[in-house]
Amino acid sequence: MEEENKKAGFPVLILLVGLGIASLFVWLFAELAEELLENELRSFDNIIISFFEAIETSALDTFYILITEMGSVWFLTTLSVILIGLLWWKAKDKWGILFFIIAVGGSGLLTWLLKQFYGRGRPSINEEIDAIGFSFPSGHSMGSLVFYGFTAYFIVRSRQKRVVKISSLVVLGILIILIGTSRIYLGAHFPSDVLAGFIAGTIWLILCLLALEWVQWQSNSHVRPVHAVRKFLASGYRAGKKKIGH
């Protein structure tokens, strides 16, 4: 029994930490959305927009137009098809493919629903950089965080060398941030839209990854997850009672 608890302990801990982080980001998004509805984000947005206006150059224009395309629907869809093909051809990872599709497709649906609910207008309309429709939250920011975040997960779980994994995480992290800032620089979104997109994307990504890990754990382990969680929590409760008793 003790050995079973040890085997279950780490994945249960990851599950609980992941749910805790997701809950924190839900609270952050709710706070941000409340301030949006109360029109309290204007100063925050104006300060950041003024900064990007001050650094405008023709070179940055070209750079950010290229960067923003890397978070566009057509680009992420193309990369998704390629990644799904690689996952099936190299790893036959059916669960990974399924939850990747749910994550990427679901992020698009969630973005649309949130945009319709809040109905915030954009700073400017520009069809050439996919800046049409409602603004809050940023679809580029949410979509790129979910797609490139899930890609980072696959790389971390792969057999690549540690230096490759770390380098990939750094590059993908920088790319996600650049895609978000490109939307501000190009006038497609308010900074608070981008921040909301990152927060919502983080929540959805964490939930999808936890669901994937849960299913894989259930498929590959003889320990039943629900039973293991109950045992793990019970053992932690008993240990806490003993310490209090002493």
pLDDT at 43: 84
- Report how far residue 143's alpha carbon sits from residue 148's, in angstroms, rounded to the nearest whole number: 8
Count CB neighbours of 29 within 10 A. 20
Count CB neighbours of 16 within 10 A. 15
Ranges under pLDDT 50 in the chain: 1-8, 232, 237
151-196 pLDDT, tens per residue? 999 998 888 888 999 999 999 999 999 999 999 999 889 999 999 9
- Nearest in space to 72 (alpha carbons), one of 158, 9, 5, 131: 131
Per 3-state DSSP, the chain is made up of helix, strand and coil in percentages (nearest 5) of 80, 0, 15
Residue written as token pair 């869809």: 77
Count CB neighbours of 92 within 10 A. 9
pLDDT at 18: 73
pLDDT at 67: 95
Integer angstrom CA distances of residue 129 from 47, 61, 88: 23, 12, 33
